[in-house]
Amino acid sequence: MAAPAVPEFLYGTAWKEDRTAALTEQALRAGFRGIDTANQRRHYVEAGVGEALAAASRAGSVTRADVFLQTKFTYRGGQDHRLPYDPAAPVATQVAQSMASSLEHLGTDHVDSYVLHGPASGQGWSAADVEAWAAMIRERDLGRTRWLGVSNVSLRHLHQLQASGHELPAFVQNRCFARTGWDRNIRLFCAEHQVVYQGFSLLTANPAVLHHPYVAGLATRANATPAQVVFAFSRRLGMLPLTGTSDAGHMREDLASDIVRLSLEEVRALESLTG
């Protein structure tokens, strides 16, 4: 099985509708080697990602083996009427059907990461989650994904998943708010258990940070933009950041955010910026 490394940045394909294929191709041309999608037609066009991969492969620029490909299983509650599974089937069957549909959309026999888009309840790791997670582990054991992840989780979800006796995910993907210390509790849990933390909405969830004079000062010093400072900071914290930019210039800037060098003191100062 092809084994691309986990890249340092993920290109997110949400909300791109009929521009999904073209923007994903552009992201691959810009140098992204990690793509995030979901089998949730409400917010993603997973088949567009497959089209982009096929086009890049035909052009000889990027092959499937070069790309870390991540998709998600989304419960009925997070979907609209365009479902990739039979809603009357048990959750475990829905997971298998959704995975089969993802592989068809993406034109591949396996993904690199398969993520539970969100737990069934905000209150805790429920029986449905236990069933879905066991089914996802089965998909992994059958070789259809290399790794597993969970998204939109609280510390309580992770503790209860741990207590259920099942293995922990390789990835946690969460919206990252500065006001929670950039999801500090979850990041600490991840660091303690060798889980890679994927942060999304790093820019859109934190507008006050982007406009903060301290960030502006760091950006000026590095001849960079405040967005690059935030991405550089997230990478220094050990996060795997996502960007869903539709702008070719921003694609290049986001990938080049490591031009911003931050001292430990600056990282600590940014970590405590509550926006």
Tell me which stretch binds ligand NAP (CB under 6 A): 106-114, 126-134, 138-146, 243-251: 243-251
Tell me which stretch binds ligand NAP (CB under 6 A): 23-31, 158-166, 180-188, 198-206: 198-206
* Position among 65, 246, 259, 261 found at the interface with ligand NAP (CB under 6 A): 246
* Position among 225, 229, 235, 236 found at the interface with ligand NAP (CB under 6 A): 225
Residue 269 interacts with ligand NAP (CB under 6 A): yes or no = no
Tell me which stretch binds ligand NAP (CB under 6 A): 60-68, 187-195, 249-257, 259-267: 249-257
Which tokens is 151 given? 């998204």
Question: Radius of gyration over alpha carbons of the chain, in Å?
Answer: 18
* Position among 201, 214, 258, 271 found at the interface with ligand NAP (CB under 6 A): 201
The nearest distance, CB 171 to ligand NAP, in angstroms, is 11
Q: Which residues of 135-147 are buried (b: 16+ CB within 10 A; e: fewer)?
A: bbbebbeeebbbb
Residue 12, beta-bridge partner list: 36
The three-state DSSP-derived secondary structure of 198-262 is EEECCCCCCHHHHCCHHHHHHHHHHCCCHHHHHHHHHHHCCCEEEECCCCHHHHHHHHHHHHCCC
Residue 113 interacts with ligand NAP (CB under 6 A): yes or no = no
The nearest distance, CB 89 to ligand NAP, in angstroms, is 23
Sequence-ordered alpha helix ranges (H) in 71-174: 91-106, 127-141, 155-163
Residue 152 interacts with ligand NAP (CB under 6 A): yes or no = yes
Question: Would you say 151 or 160 has its CB closer to ligand NAP?
Answer: 151
User: CA 237, 241, 242: angle at the middle one, nearest 5?
Assistant: 170
User: What would the x/- binding string for ligand NAP be over residues 25 to 64, using CB under 6 A?
Assistant: -----------x----------------------------
Which tokens is 82 given? 């365009």
Q: Which residues of 11-28 are buried (b: 16+ CB within 10 A; e: fewer)?
A: bbbbebeeebbebbbbbb
The nearest distance, CB 60 to ligand NAP, in angstroms, is 26
Residue 14 interacts with ligand NAP (CB under 6 A): yes or no = yes
Binding site for ligand NAP (CB under 6 A): 12-14, 36, 117, 151-152, 173, 200-201, 203-204, 225, 227, 242-247, 250, 253-254
